[in-house]
Every structure is written in C-alpha cells, then in structure tokens.
Chain A
Amino acid sequence: MNVLAFLIPISVTLGLAGLVAFVWALRSGQYEDPAGDQARALSSDRDDRPGP
C-alpha cells in the first residue's frame, strides 16, 4: 500500500491543475461570449495574424 503515498498526491495535484486552469479561463474572460467564440473558430480572418 506504500504506493498510495505517491498516487494520492499525484492525483490531487492533477486535479488542482485542472481547477487552476478553469479559474484562469474564467478570469481571462473566456466565458464572456460563447456564441461569438463558436463562430470565430470557423472564420479565416485572423489565420495568418492572430488577433488580441
């Protein structure tokens, strides 16, 4: 059972990484305009020169 000493911290760390990624996405405004982002993904306007 000693392997648990590694596995539990690893699984918790991975979960925390996911949580941090979610909070970052939320704070950087990625849920502000879901409908617009859907449409923009298919637009070729900024393919060569990524916009802000």
Chain B
Amino acid sequence: MTAACPACAGVEMARPAPALETTHLLHLPDIHCGACIAGVERALGAAPGVRAARVNLTRKRVAITAPGLDAATLVAALAEAGYRAQPMDAARTGADRTPRDLLTRIGVAGFAMMNVMLLSVAVWSGATGATAQVFHLVSAAIAIPAVAYAAQPFFGSALQALRARRLNMDVPIALAILLASLASLAAAFDLAPNDGWFDAALALTFFLLIGRYLDTAGRAAARSAAADLAALDVPQAIRLEDGRERVVPAADLAPGDLILLRPGDRLPADGEIVSGRCDLDRSALTGESQPAPAGPGDPVAAGETCLTGALTVRVLRAGRDTALARMAETIAAAEGQRTRYAGLADRAARLYAPAVHLLGAGTFLGWLAATGDGWRALDVAISVLVITCPCALGLAVPAVSTVATGRLFRAGLLVKSPTALERLSEVDIVAFDKTGTLTTGTPRLAVRPDDAALAAAAGLARHSAHPMSRAIVAAAEAAGLAPAPVRDIAEHPGDGVEGWLDGRRLRLGRAAFAGGAGDGLWLGRDGTAPVALPMAETLRPGAAPATAALAAAGYGTALLSGDAAGPVRRLAAETGIAEAHADLRPADKTAWVEARQDEGHRVLMVGDGLNDTGPLAVAHAGLSPGSALDAARSASDVVALSGDVGAVPLLLRTARGAMARMRQNIGLALAYNAISIPLAVTGHASPLVAALAMSASSLTVTLNAMRRL
C-alpha cells in the first residue's frame, strides 16, 4: 500500500532514531566560531560511514558515531577540510557529575529563598497575629525540605570534619543553617517567641552553594582539560608477530617483544637495537639538541625519537617499568608534597572557624546571664552566627580565581592546580629550559654557504626526513635556489646521505663521513674542499619578548640547559638572559632550583623534557608547554596549550592581580563583619538586617571579582 499523503510518509520517517552511541572523540584545538562548527560537521557528515557528528565548542571536541571506522580516516577527512584534529581516548575522559548536582541544589535553594523572602516581607512590614502565623507556616513548608536537600554538601562536609575531630569552614555554616531552621520551626508552631530565620538560612545556603559551585566548576574544567591532554597521546607500537606487523597499544608490550620503529616514531619502551642504524633525538630526556647515532646492540629508552632509518628493537622493559615511567612516579610523589601548600582561603578559614564559634557561644552565654531569657539569647546567638557566616569569604576567593583562570585559559594557559595562582604570585625568579621550551627543537641553517654548495646539499637533503635535511631544503627554498639534480642517492643511517652529481660523489653528513673536521654537519664533494653547514636552533616566536618583559618587570631570569656551552651561550645572548648554565644533568638543575629557594627566592620553572621534571616538581611553581612529555606536564601547575612560552609575563601579572583582588575581597568581607558583628552581639540585628548585610556583602565581593583584572 502506498502512503495516501506526503504527511503520512513524513510521520513514518520521523520515528525516533535508535540512541546514537559515540564511538570516536576527537579534540579540535583550532575551532572557535559557528562557521567552524558547520564546517566540521559538514566534513564529517560527508565522510562515508559516519552516522552522526556533534561538535562541542565549549570543550573543543567532536563526538562521532561511526561504528567500524578508523579514527585516522576521520582525522584525514577533517584535515582535508582544513581542521586539525587529534583522536582522544574516550575511556579516559569521563564526565564529572558534581557541577550539575550543585547547580540543581542552587536552583532549589534559589527558588525557596525567593518565595520565603516574599513571604517574609509581609512579616517585616508589620503583619501580626494569625496572618504572621500563616506566613510562618507556609515559609516552613517551603524552607525545611529545601534546606534538607540543598544544604546537604555542608552538612556532609561538617560531619566528616567533626568525625575527624577537626573544625572546618563548613561546621559554623552547618550550625548556623541548622539552628536558624530549627528555631524558626519552633517559632512557626508557636512554641517559642523567636523571629523567623528561614530566609536567612536559605540565603546562606544559596550564596555558599554559588561559591562552592564556582570552586568545583573551575577545578573540574582544569581537570578535564588535563585529562584531555593525557588522552591525546595514546602511545602505540608496531609489534612484529611471526614476521607480520601489528599495531598494539604500548601498554600491551612485554619484555622480549620485537617492535618496529619508523623514522619520526617515539620509542614506546626501553630496549636494545636488534637491527638498523638511526640518529636518536634524546632532547626530551637530556636536553641535548644534537641527535646521537645508534646501531645494533645499543640500548634505547622510552621517550627518545628515531629520526632516520628504521629500527627493530627488542623490548627489555615496558609499561610501568620503563625509566620514563619510574621517573614519572617519583615526580607524582614529589607533587603530593606541594599540594600541602595551604591556600589563602584555608588559612583564613583556620582562623575564622574557631573565632565564629567562640563569638556565637559567648553571645549566647552573655545574653543568658544578663537577661535570663533563653529564647532571646538563642535568637541573638543565631543572628551572630548568620551574620558572621562566611558567605562573602566563601565567595571572595573562588570568584576571583574563576575569573582569573578563565582569562588565562582564553590566552592558552591551563591552570591545573587550585593553589597555583597564589604560588605564582610569589615567584621572583623564572628559570627556563632551552631545547623544546625557548626553542622549537627544529634546527635552521645558521650560516648560508655559496649557492652551488647549498643547491647540491639541498639536492641530497630533499630525500631525507632528518630535521637538519629539512632545514637545508628550507634554506635553499628561501634563497630561491632549485635543488641540484643529484642521482643514485643512498642513505647511510647514523652517518649521512650520499649521491652523485655530474659524475662527482657528494656526501652530506657528520664530519668523519663527509671528510670535514669537528662537530656539526658537513658537505663533502670530490675535488672540492668540504663545506661546514652549521645549524642553529629556532627560537620560539614569543620567547625573546617574554624574557625582555620579565626582566623589565623586575623578575630574575635564568637558563638551565643540558646542552653544550656553545648553543646555550648563543641562546642566552639572543634572549638577553644573564644567568646561563650549560651541561647540567637533571640532578644539577634540581639542585640549582633548591639552592635559590633556600636563599629565600621563589622559582618558576619552565621546561618540557624528562630532565626538567625534577626541577618542575621542586620549584615553587612549574609551567610546561603542551608539547612537553606527559611526565613534565603532570609535574607542572600550568600548561601552555599553544606551546608558546610568550604568555609567561601575562601569567605572572594575572596571578599577582588575582592575589591582590582576593586580599581586597577578604578585606571587604571583614569590613562588613566589623560593622555588623557589634550590631548582632548587642541584639540589634533583626532577620531583615541580617538578610540585607549578607546579600550586600556577597554581591559586593562578587562584583569586585568580576572587575577587570
């Protein structure tokens, strides 16, 4: 039977589709606007096999339903449309439900607070007798369930603290909410002559929940971004199984496995070279910018990168046993010590909580002794607890740090640790690593040889993937030279490249291979003297302005490098860093940082390699670029997602501004208390005055936090 009308066919089509399960999660670092959303979704929608794709612009990722499809195919489809994408491990990026739970509680507390306040207006403006009684009962019916639900986080945390025989900020809060609710309930049923405090109890809950939410949401954002970063590099390995190649996660490798490495691969495990020769880039581990040759029998370690030639490696240690993983574990332990740094809010709470209890208890006893009226004394004690309760204090610090970390995130800086801003504001020396931090790690040709030599070198180099070869080709292109037509090119891994041009043999490589003398890269030509091709590192674009700005702002700067003295001195001159140390072993870097801190300085370490993880962990604060090793990123407080260290001055300036604002906010909150506590203790604070003081101070503090830093 055919459908009688088009609408019926439409109904058939509109049946709800089965729930779409996300199969792939891609990180999109560059998207920023509506056009990007449309572009990404269109590109993915056009790819065969993709059933659905939904971009989340806030978290810069796209969830794709494409069962049976390879992540690489999706990345390629996006690359064709002009979007950079990195696959993420969906299992490692679980969603946190706490912020949503807190938002629901804020909604309930806000609804109840507004209704009860409206009802209270009638009482404050003079309703008496049966009318006031009705209003009280209706308020109780709304407030008691709302407090029981919304204030649970405070009750839970206070109970936990009391069980551990400690006092935290939540104990006076829970006490104030509980006492105010119970006394008002008694008043509502005409059991006691007290005032109604329901609106105060709800307003307390509402404002404090907002502070709690800002705190958790900020931390959750940092944690999920850090988890994203960790999920980005899922290390993989090519394992040889009976002569066939199979791609497996690096975690599945076991000692004795044979793995294959192609040029450009990072080693996933420690091992020994079985066959093949190659130049190894050890800069992530040692900071050396010069690659070192390696051949059969040589040991290799996880984290090193194979630059030229293919290698077959027998795995000796894998997974958590590699030198890299063990190093990362010791760092995790060191990091645990730094988290014991007490934040400003904690220090304020430690002073504040006992003071509030003493004041409340003292007021109750004083009024009881003076008047002999227990209900009146309780009423005044409640007003003291409600007014001194740290609404504004609870908002003063989280509101500022939310604004500051949000601003830094937009500048590409991810603040991971909750006390990082405070520690950063105390920093007075900034120590930089060289390779990979101030420089990009890709070399460039420092001195240009004559045109014929450069063209010949480029002709040889364009067939090699070695970074130095690419630098030569780039230099030739920049000079407008066409690479010479070199024939019969043969690569000698670990030594260099050989080829023939116009019947003469050409060799490009290390000195012994090409006939030169000393370090560096040489071009050897039969019948001509060898030409040196000195290489220099490329400075990151923001590095020199950043060090200049730091020096101008009065910070001490230092360069700590594991590289040789020559390149270090050159780079120090380029960036204007006065204190430069070369040939440092990882332990030397750590010792240098510790020595400065023992002298009373506070050091910010900026580094990316495994040799920087020690100093990153012991320094007062640490920063690593997003391209850094996993271990270095987890040891640092701040990650520069863009990889550029140029944001360091902005980071330090924002941290100092944020700290000044936090102190200002705490001062404001204390000033409010200084005025309202005498009123409360002397019994002049009615529920109306308490509600006004509380809301006014919370609003002042929040607005002050939102002001431009």
Contacts from A to B (Cβ < 8 Å): 1, 4, 8, 11-12, 15-16, 18-19, 22-23, 26, 31-36, 39-40, 42-43, 45, 52
Contact = CB atoms under 8 A, between A and B. Distances in A.
Contact of A33 (B34, B57, B119): B57
Contacts of A42: 34
Interface string B54-82: 01111100000000000000000000000
A36 B56 CA distance: 6
B33 interface: yes
Given A15-B114, A15-B115, A23 B33 contact: no
Given A19-B108, A26-B103, A32 B37 contact: no
A41 to B, nearest CB: 8
Nearest to B56: A33
Nearest to B54: A52
B611 to A, nearest CB: 38
B137 to A, nearest CB: 10
Nearest to B34: A39
Interface string B33-63: 1100110010000000000100111110000
Contacts of B59: 33
B56 A43 contact: no
A35 B131 CA distance: 48
Contacts of A22: 107
B138 A39 contact: no
Nearest to A32: B56
Contacts of A1: 131
A18 B115 CA distance: 12
A7 to B, nearest CB: 11
B57 A19 contact: no
B58 A16 contact: no
B107 A26 contact: yes
B10 to A, nearest CB: 11
14 contacts: A4-B131, A4-B134, A11-B115, A11-B118, A15-B115, A23-B104, A26-B100, A31-B100, A33-B58, A40-B34, A40-B37, A42-B34, A43-B37, A52-B17
Given A4-B131, A33-B57, 10 more contacts: A4-B134, A18-B111, A19-B111, A23-B104, A26-B104, A31-B100, A35-B57, A35-B58, A36-B58, A39-B33
Interface string B439-480: 000000000000000000000000000000000000000000
A36 B111 contact: no
Interface string B81-103: 00000000000000000001001
A4 B107 CA distance: 26
B103 A31 contact: yes
Contacts of B142: 12
A27 to B, nearest CB: 8
Interface of B: 17, 33-34, 37-38, 41, 52, 55-59, 100, 103-104, 107-108, 111, 114-115, 118-119, 131, 134, 138, 142
A19 B105 CA distance: 11
Contact of A16 (B38, B52, B111): B111
B104 A43 contact: no
Which among A11, A19, A34 has the highest number of chain B CB atoms within 10 Å? Answer: A19
A21 to B, nearest CB: 10
A25 to B, nearest CB: 10
Nearest to A4: B134
Nearest to B60: A35
Which among A19, A32, A33, A36 has the highest number of chain B CB atoms within 10 Å? Answer: A36
Q: B-side binding surface: helix, strand, loop or mixed? A: helix
A23 B107 contact: yes
Contacts of A16: 111
B199 to A, nearest CB: 14
A43 B118 contact: no
Contacts of B38: 43, 45
Given A1-B131, A40-B37, A12 B115 contact: yes
B34 A32 contact: no
Nearest to A5: B134
Contact of B107 (A19, A35, A36): A19
Contacts of B104: 23, 26
Contacts of A4: 131, 134
Nearest to B101: A26
Contacts of A40: 34, 37
Contact of A34 (B58, B111, B134): B58
Contacts of B103: 26, 31
Q: Which 3 A-B pairs have the closest CB atoms?
A: A39-B34, A36-B57, A19-B111
Contacts of B131: 1, 4
A11 B41 CA distance: 45
Contacts of B138: 8, 12
A39 B60 CA distance: 13
B94 to A, nearest CB: 15
A18 B107 CA distance: 9
Contact of B37 (A8, A19, A31, A39): A39
Nearest to B95: A32
Contacts of A34: 58
Contacts of A23: 104, 107
Contacts of B17: 52
A17 B395 CA distance: 29
Contacts of B100: 26, 31
A41 B145 CA distance: 38
A31 B59 CA distance: 12
Nearest to A41: B34
A23 B55 CA distance: 24
B22 to A, nearest CB: 13
Contacts of A32: 56, 58
B280 to A, nearest CB: 43
Nearest to A29: B100
Contacts of B37: 36, 39-40, 43
A40 B38 CA distance: 8
A38 B43 CA distance: 21
Contacts of B52: 52
B34 A43 contact: yes
Which among A1, A12, A42, A45 has the highest number of chain B CB atoms within 10 Å? Answer: A12
A45 B35 CA distance: 10
A16 B111 CA distance: 7
B526 to A, nearest CB: 63
Nearest to A34: B58
Contacts of A18: 111
B107 A15 contact: no
